[in-house]
Structure formats: C-alpha cells, structure tokens
Amino acid sequence: MDTKSSSAVEPEEWEIVLTRVFDLPRELVFKAWTGPKHLAQWWGPKGFTNPLCELDVRPGGSIRIHMCGPDGILYPMTGVYQEIMEPVRLVFTSAALDKEGNPILELLNTVTFAEHSGKTTLTTKARVVKTTPEGAPYLEGSEAGWTQSLERLGNLLASTYSTRRRKLTQRTEDPASSTDREIAATRVINAPRELVFRMWTDPEQVAQWWGPNGFTNTIYEMAVRPGGVWRFVMHGPDGVDYQNTIVFIEIVEPEWLAYSDVSGPQFQVTVTFADQGDKTRVSVQMLFESTTPRDKMAMEFGAIEGLSQTLDRLEAHVAKIQERERP
C-alpha cells in the first residue's frame, strides 16, 4: 500500500491527495464507490456508520449521507456529482451541514481509478470550495477521515473478495444448495475436457459461439486469471448491443472457472468441466444474491433458454473444431 498526502494551512489553498493500491480490478473498486449499499459500509472514519446513504450516480445527481459517530451523533452531508467516467474517474462535491441544514464546509473531490496487471491504483484529491468558521473542526479532521475511510474500503474489498471465492468453492462442492437463486444447465460434449476448456478461455474461440442463437460478439480483452477482466459486447440479431464486463475469480485448468458478472444485476458463475472418458460434462451455475434478480433474468431476459442455446452453440463449435483439427 502506497500513501501520499499534502495539506496547506490556508483553507483556500487546502488540499489532500491520498493514494491506495488495491489488489482488485478497477471495475470492482469503482462499484464500491457508486453502489449505496457498498459505500455505506466503508464511508467515514473508524467506528462510523451510515444509516442513510442515497446516491443518484449521474452528472448533476445528488448525494445524501447521514454519518453516525460512535457516540450516536449524526453528521449529515450532501453533495452533487460533477463528472462520472466509469470506471476511470469520479468528481463530486461533499458538504458538511449544520443543524439547520446549511453547508459549513464544502469540498470538491476527484477520484481516479488506474488499473495495471489486475491491480487498481486509487487516487483521491480533495480541495476546499468554501468554508465557514464552524467548518474548521471538520477541515482539521478531513485528512484523518479520508485516510480511515480508505482503510475501511480496503478491508471491505478484501473481505468481500475472499468471501466470494469461498462461497463459489462451496457452491461447486455442494451443487444442491441455493437452487432458488440460481440458473443452471449441464451438457455432455463429445470432446476431451482440455479442448472444451480451451474453447471457453480462448477469446478467438469464445467470440464464435458465445450467446444465444443469432448473437455475435466483439471481445476487447479477456485476461483469464484471478482478477482478470473480460470486456465484450454482444450484438443481438435485432441490432441491440449489450455491454458486458466479467471479472475472473478462480481458474483451475482444465477443471473449473469462477467469475463475477458486474455489468448489471451482479451474479457469480461457476463452470465445471468433468472428465467422462473421451467426453466432457460441462455444468454451469449462475448464482444470484436473491430470487428477485434471478427471476428477472429468467423472465425478462430469457436467461434459461439463452444459457441452453449458448451451450448448444458451444457443442456445435467444438464439433467443428474437432473436424478441422482431425488428422
């Protein structure tokens, strides 16, 4: 972890710059800043909670947070998003309020997310827009508050990431659990699992079979490693494009894959490749946080039939590759 900070004495020149490095792709780190449930878990100094956390994440959208100190005192704050460039940059104001709801200290905050080799360098820059004498204590504690907030963010990300990996492992070992929150399918493919695994992890091959019937794909990157990102666009037969971002969690070649879809309603996927002689049993489980997003994906987006068609296309593509590679 790398830390850099600076602050000036005069409020009009006051500025704090902090840098942290997280061992996660920036899509996951960015979501921790824009999802109210995530932000509420780490925002503020140690010991603080956020019983109210409302975010309207768009340029001009409002921020409303009630921070509650360990002594039970509420510290309301508001803000406005100035710029959003997912997953690269956030710019927003934050204002501490007095008992009447008047701003006593307002900061302009710029947060950048730079990714390199699966890690994210997060840089926060806060400078004073305006302040009052009542805002002096808040100004004095801002550097410590930001520092502790970022420490809490790091702890949350590390805990969430390791928990997801553990749950995915347990899910693979116990396929009978969580059936009300999952969409699953199995297919036996007449090919050795090394070949089937390669078809699932080689971007040139994946682009030729991924998705329901009639879909084509443009793959921008596919880093098949823990923390690696898979970015692609699915082009529907009706001309609609579907942006997708997937983050790989675990890879055990050629036995199984685990990854998280962070494009929309988040869900985790495990794909197992079981050796059955000269055939491969492919099992896919899409695990959602609750039945609500699961049912939405199934009913509104046709995910059950879509998964079945996708496996049909995989099976046909594997047969074509075998024919091509046959001596």
> What confidence tens digit (pLDDT) does each residue in 233-289 have?
999 999 999 999 999 988 888 888 999 998 877 899 999 998 888 899 999 999 888
Specify the pLDDT at position 235.
Answer: 96
Judge contact between 118 and 23, C-beta under 8 A: yes
Specify the pLDDT at position 290.
Answer: 86
Provide the residue-wise pLDDT of the chain in tens; the chain has 327 residues: 333 333 333 555 688 999 999 888 788 889 899 989 889 999 999 999 999 999 999 999 999 999 999 999 999 999 999 999 988 999 999 999 988 889 999 999 999 999 887 688 999 999 999 888 888 888 888 889 999 999 999 988 877 665 555 554 454 444 444 567 889 999 999 999 999 999 999 999 999 999 999 999 999 999 998 888 999 999 999 999 999 999 998 888 888 899 999 887 789 999 999 888 889 999 999 988 888 888 888 888 888 999 999 999 999 999 999 988 777
Query: Nearest CA to 195 among 252, 280, 276, 270?
Result: 280
Specify the pLDDT at position 161.
Answer: 62
Specify the pLDDT at position 116.
Answer: 80
pTM higher than the cut 0.75: no
Three-state SS for 80? strand
Judge contact between 255 and 272, C-beta under 8 A: yes
Say which residues have a Cβ less than 8 Å from residue 64's Cβ, sequence separation at least 6.
52, 53, 54, 76, 77, 78
Q: Which fold has domain 11-164?
A: Alpha-D-Glucose-1,6-Bisphosphate; Chain A, domain 4 (3.30.530)
Which residue is it, tokens 């091959």? 205
Extract the tokens encoding 216. Answer: 């084509």
Distance between CA atoms of residues 26 and 33, nearest Å: 11
Specify the pLDDT at position 153.
Answer: 94
Specify the pLDDT at position 93.
Answer: 97
Specify the pLDDT at position 6.
Answer: 35
Helix (H) or strand (E) holding 144: helix 142-173
Specify the pLDDT at position 264.
Answer: 76
Cα-flanking dihedrals φ and ψ of residue 196, to 5°? -65, -40
Query: Nearest CA to 233 among 263, 277, 195?
Result: 263
Helix (H) or strand (E) holding 145: helix 142-173
Cα-flanking dihedrals φ and ψ of residue 179, to 5°? -65, -25
Specify the pLDDT at position 60.
Answer: 96
Long-range CB contacts (within 8 A, 24+) of 312-316: 312/187, 312/213, 313/209, 313/210, 313/211, 313/213, 314/187, 314/189, 314/196, 314/199, 314/200, 314/209, 314/282, 315/187, 315/189, 316/209
How far, rounded to the nearest angstrom, does the alpha carbon of residue 196 sit from its chain's CA centroid? 27
What is the sign of the dihedral through the CA atoms of 64, 70, 73 and 75? negative
Query: Nearest CA to 19 among 117, 110, 106, 96?
Result: 110
Judge contact between 136 and 161, C-beta under 8 A: no
Specify the pLDDT at position 219.
Answer: 96
Residue 286 CB neighbours (<10 A): 21
Residue 203 CB neighbours (<10 A): 16
Sequence ranges of the domains in the chain: 11-164, 174-325
| CATH placement of domain 174-325 | 3.30.530.20
Specify the pLDDT at position 279.
Answer: 92
